[in-house]
Chains A and B, each alone.
Chain A
Amino acid sequence: METIEKLQKILQDVFDDETLEIDETTSADDIADWDSFSHIHLCAAVENEFGIKMTTEQAIRVKNIQDFLRIIAENHSSTL
């Protein structure tokens, strides 16, 4: 599965909405339930799925799908 597909599945779970569709530009502004509480939940789910640990800076700055894709890529390139 592509990274973005995995992310879509995670967002569907976290926001409990099976119809949710995302692309690279989807951001916190597009999803009403994306508040500070679910933000932490989302970060934890992404960390588990991709086996990464975000830095404090990354976790507070990440606001859209593109940010997640970048963080996942960076983490994986640094560990590979």
Chain B
Amino acid sequence: MKKSLVLFLLLAMVVSLAGCSGSGDKNGGADANEIKIGINYELTGAVASYGESSVNGILMAFDEINAAGGINGMKIVPVQFDNKSEPAEATSLATRLMTQEGVVAALGPATSGNFMATIPVAMGNKVPIISASATADKGVTVDDKGNVNEYVFRLCFNDSFQGVTMANFAFNNLNATKAVIIQDNSSDYGKGLAENFKATFEAAGGTIVAHEGYVAKDKDFNAILTSIKGKDFDVIFIPGYYQEAGLIIKQARDQGIDAPILGADGFDSPVLLELAGAEALNDVYFSNHYSSIDEDPLVKEFIKAYKEKNGVEPNAFNALGYDLGMFIADAVERAGSADPEAIKDALAETKGFVGVTGTFDMGEDHNPIKSAVVIGLENGVQATSVKVDPN
């Protein structure tokens, strides 16, 4: 009996502790020299690597700003929580950040699903949220009925934009007029990319001479490749992920198809090189958010600073996170106050923001009008990078 009494006391303590911590930080935003910005990211769970990379970039940006004197003399105070890669936890944390911690804006989560789970909270509390990597086409900044979610922003292009980018790149940079599409039929990503590539390429005056499809986990693409081999075309566009793309590239080169092969950020993985082999990865181009071989001085400086601080080369998520930190600071400065409403307006009115991942204006639909980087591979390594503007 005594034991159970002790246990109950212990439980009571835990519960009351919980109550305290839940209602403790209610004086959010009271200090005039501080700006609280919420960080709601995946630090544990399935996609922890995305979250952690992004947060590294964000914090680096905040440190730089605070070291330089803050925004109009106000220091940025990041309020950081881990959403365990779970949408319900992301919802809970967004609510906490906005109602308990008094943040003026919340950054993240990194993935589209978790980000979407926080949209109703942002709309209800009228606090802006921004993601640097939620690239889903539907349901992010614009809802199902076509209305813009007023408090929701992102600073990455969406999936289908890359289709447009690659079509422009093929037509303008590679002077291609005839293209073949081999698309991944099993993902929205592949379908969206293919549709947008086709529309843009045809509008520019090109023709699609063949449109083939496969499903994820396919291994043998020789039938498709044989059927297109006899046709006359300049480029092959493969909207899909690196597992299948790697095999398609290898089998195409084995068959003697040496036309340039194009893809999107789904190619961005070391596995592509393992599957295709270095000698097959020539004349392969794919769009990405950022390239580490970019000659832009801003990018070079970022890479140098990041290496000094963390000892490793920054990846695309680090770069996007860094830009996100700089972007929100820029918006707060332009808003001139710590009022979420004013910050939201400043975010929407962004013109010519210069970031590591590109220069952009915020579009009507709260998606950035932003250039993508097209990376060219030579013997499996990044050899060229070209910025392609949206128009």
Whether both chains belong to one complex is answered with no
